Structure 1
Amino acid sequence: MRKKIGFLSFGHWRDVNGSQTRSASDSLLQTIELAVAAEELGVDSANVRVHHFERQLASPFPLLAAIAARTGRIEMGTGVIDMRYENPLYMAEEAAATDLISGGRLQLGVSRGSPETALRGAETFGYVPTEGETAADNARTKTEIFLQAISGTPVARTDPARTGGVSGGLAIQPQSPGLRQRIWWGAGTRATAEWAARTGMNLQSSTLLSEDTGVPFDRLQAEQIELYRQAFKEAGHDWEPRVSVSRSVLPITEEIDRIYFGREDDQDQVGLLEGVRSRFGRTYSGDPERIAEELAADEAVRSADTVLFTVPNQLGVEYNTRLLETITKHVAPAIGWSAA
């Protein structure tokens, strides 16, 4: 089976020396241009990270719709939308509209989100958890409402005074056929991956896992994927799910690459995240052929059907297009990818 590859942009912008993204406008417009360039290279998907209260991409749907309007084949998605900040019914309308504009190319990643600088940021947006409800509970509840809405489940009732006394259910509009099977859950543990499987979502295995059993990151991630697939099968869903992993890959082919990335740490990192011992994946930097060999041996990369490569977006479209070209020519073929 042919693997798919994509890029994942964190969408940073800073008005500092060396940055090619000095403003939010730069970040947004360059992401669109990179998606166009990536499609020409044969890359399968363009994906953006979503963060609130940061100089990063925060409102993905206008951006994804713009990418859809400028391209014809490439998928576009998120990694991930923090559901605590969302009105799930309005989000269902936005997602369906974006998917229709794209012709069914939306691959939407959602989750509880990652640690953030904002104190109770979602509450600032007006979404206050009920008493005793955790952030994870809140995100899952909203996700379930969102999934029902994009599936056409009635979520409102007609007004009998306006319908001749007839009362009936109303679904959100528009609806986009097939979108329900293109929703992904960003899972940071094996348990949340199993929940995603039972709920009937694709799996985005996180760039960090908020658990550590002492085994290398790729093996822990591969275990998560195996448990997910087993749970998906046991749940009796009648379709084949997809699984993605993300990797930081920085091939060095020119002196400028060595200046930027020649000293990247190439080992897993273990630390505390919100009080939980967590394991972070390594960065692959250096000779493209060596990176290809290492990725081909990566257990999670071998298990997944989709690999997303993070890009240093502040270096601009030209730099990242060259980076993606190196990946398509020298790295991705070793893991089972070929141009469509």
Structure 2
Amino acid sequence: MKAFGFLSFGHYSLNGHPSGKETLKQALELSQAADELGVNGAYFRVHHFAPQNASPMPLLGAIAATTEHIEVGTGVIDMRYENPLYLAEEAAALDQLADGRVALGVSRGSPEPAERGWEAFGYTGSTDPRGADIAREHYKKFLKAVRGEAMAKAASAGEQYPQLYRPGTELPVLPYSPGLDRRIWWGAATHASAEQAAREGVNLMSSTLVLEATGQSLSELQAEQIKRYRAAWKEAGHDWTPRVSVSRSVFPVVSERDRQIFGFGESKDSIGMIDGTTGTFGRTYVDEPDKLIEQLLDDEAVQAADTLMLTIPNQAGVEINQSILANFAEHVAPALGWKPAQAGPVEGYPVQ
């Protein structure tokens, strides 16, 4: 592990505390505190028709504008609900303002409360009850746009732009932010989708569950997923080294208050259903730092990845979550090979 960040699901209450406004402002405050700690990334889940964070760009923009080093991103944007070219424009503009600190996780997304909710956003025609075909179509177009490929052709010269383009010239969406395409992650829930992400030349983001249930632990399943991803990447012949992240719920116990808040003792992985599919869900790590270090060093997937995302209970407020990050940074992360954040794009992903 070289980097760690926090992953917030952005839960809020419709009838009490925290409100949506409080959740956004607390996310900003926590990100600023994390930046001072040297935490490498602040990442946010994106959901629709639910009391959780939705459109991420305003929040990511506020964080980028008030921090210096921390990477800002998502885990993940549901591409069923996105205009891919507009998202590419937003991402590029934010990346330029943030000096290359944007890292967006995208995917088909998890189940949402609305039935075929993407249709309410104007994206119709899916023949898949889960909208996977629309998500894939949007993702492919988004990736092409981020990479600067042509998306339209210039019209005949008009009054407003009489000499800007020769008619028929192929046009990319603008702005274009070089290097951003190397900071796009695919949120893979299966081995097959991880291998597909490798072939397409994007980073791998593996969450706290995998849609595989073989009797193996989540760590073993994710380690296999990462192995297959890297083999497919090598076979594809890409000329750069990708990043791989995994997510874990980790709560260091360094005080009696920590013990009272988070409890104590070892949990286990579990098998459950999500989106009509059986999956393996990860355990929660709660222990004293030396025990956590041993457990995480034994976690095959954590050791195979270069980035660890700590899922945080955002509803607990800034102070508690800041203490989780601070305790992890001080007592656990150094033993795992952590490199604190520095200004500019993450090491290995230079803006070209």
Q: TM-score range by the shorter chain?
A: over 0.9
Q: Equivalents in 2 of 1:199, 1:338: separation in Å?
A: 28
Contact residue 247 and residue 308 of structure 1 kept, 8 A: yes
Percentage of pairs with the same residue: 54
> How far is the alpha carbon of 1:133 from its aligned partner?
8.2
Corresponding residue number in structure 2 for 1:218: 219
Cα deviation for residue 135 of structure 1 reads 2.2
Could you tell me how far apart the structure 2 residues matched to 1:210 and 1:264 are?
A: 26
Partner of 1:297: 298
CA distance in 1 between counterparts of 2:113 and 2:15 reads 21
Instruction: Quote the Cα distance in structure 1 between the aligned partners of 2:303 and 2:99.
Output: 30
The yes-or-no answer on 1:138 pairing with 2:134 is yes
Q: State the partner residue of 2:271.
A: 270
- Map 1:241-252 to 2 at 5 A: 241-252=242-253
**How big is the shift at 1:15?**
6.1
Distance in structure 1 (CA, Å) of the matches to 2:139 and 2:259 = 42
Q: Which residue of 2 aligns with 1:105?
A: 101
* 1:297-316 aligned within 5 A: 297-316=298-317
Q: How many residues align?
A: 336
Preserved CA contact (<8 Å) 2:212 2:221: no
Range with bigger deviation, 267-276 or 243-252: 267-276
| Pairing partner for 1:54 from 50, 54, 66 | 50
CA contact (8 A) 2:198 2:230 kept: yes
Alignment partner, residue 6 of structure 1:
5
Residues 7 and 45, structure 2, Cα contact 8 Å, conserved in 1: yes
- Alpha-carbon deviation of 1:220? 0.5
| Alpha-carbon distance between aligned partners in 2 of 1:166 and 1:323, rounded to the nearest angstrom | 57
Quick one: distance in 1 between partners of 2:340 and 2:106? 28
Quick one: distance in 2 between partners of 1:161 and 1:200? 37
Task: Write the distance in 2 (CA, Å) between the matches of 1:330 and 1:234.
Answer: 39
**CA deviation digits over 1:167-213, x for unaligned, max 9?**
21121111111101110000000000000000110000122111111
Query: Conserved in 2, the CA contact under 8 Å of 1:84 and 1:127?
Result: yes
**Greater displacement, 128-137 / 284-293:** 128-137
CA distance in structure 1 between the aligned counterparts of 2:127 and 2:152, rounded to whole angstroms:
25
Distance 2:219 2:15 in 1: 35
SS of equivalent to 1:13: coil
Take 1:197 and 1:121, find their aligned partners in 2: how far apart are those partners? 29
For structure 2, list consecutive stretches of 5 or more residues without a partner in the other structure.
Answer: 342-352
Alignment of 1:1-340 (within 5 A): 3-14=2-13, 19=17, 22-131=18-127, 135-162=131-158, 163=162, 166-262=167-263, 266-340=267-341
More deviation, 22-31/221-230? 22-31
In 2: Cα distance, 1:211 partner to 1:100 partner: 38
Give the residue type in structure 2 aligned to 1:9.
S
* 1:129/1:135 contact within 8 Å kept: no
More helix by share: 1
In structure 1, list runs of 5 or more residues that go unmatched.
none
Superposed structure 1 runs of 4+ greater than 6 Å apart: none
Distance in 2 (alpha carbons) for counterparts of 1:113 and 1:269: 21
1:29-53 Cα shifts (integer Å, max 9, x gaps): 1111111111111111111111111
Quick check: 8-17 or 24-33, which moved more?
A: 8-17
Q: Distance in 2 between matches of 1:129 and 1:103?
A: 38
- Conserved? CA contact 1:301–1:335, under 8 Å: no
Contact 2:79/2:107 (CA < 8 Å) preserved in 1? yes
2 CA distance for matches of 1:63 and 1:135? 26
Query: What is the DSSP-based 3-state SS (H/G/I as helix, E as strand, rest coil) of the residue aligned with 2:332?
Result: helix
- For each residue in 1:76-117, what CA deviation from the matched residue of structure 2 results, as whole angstroms up to 9, or x when unmatched? 110000000000001011101111110001011000001222
Q: 2 CA distance for matches of 1:5 and 1:131?
A: 39
SS, match of residue 231 in structure 2: helix
Residues 37-77 of structure 1: per-residue CA shift (max 9 Å, x gap): 11111111111111111111101011111111001111111
| Offset from partner CA, 1:269-325 (integer Å, 9 cap, x none) | 101223322100110012222112101110000000000001111111111111111
Distance in 2 separating the partners of 1:51 and 1:259: 31
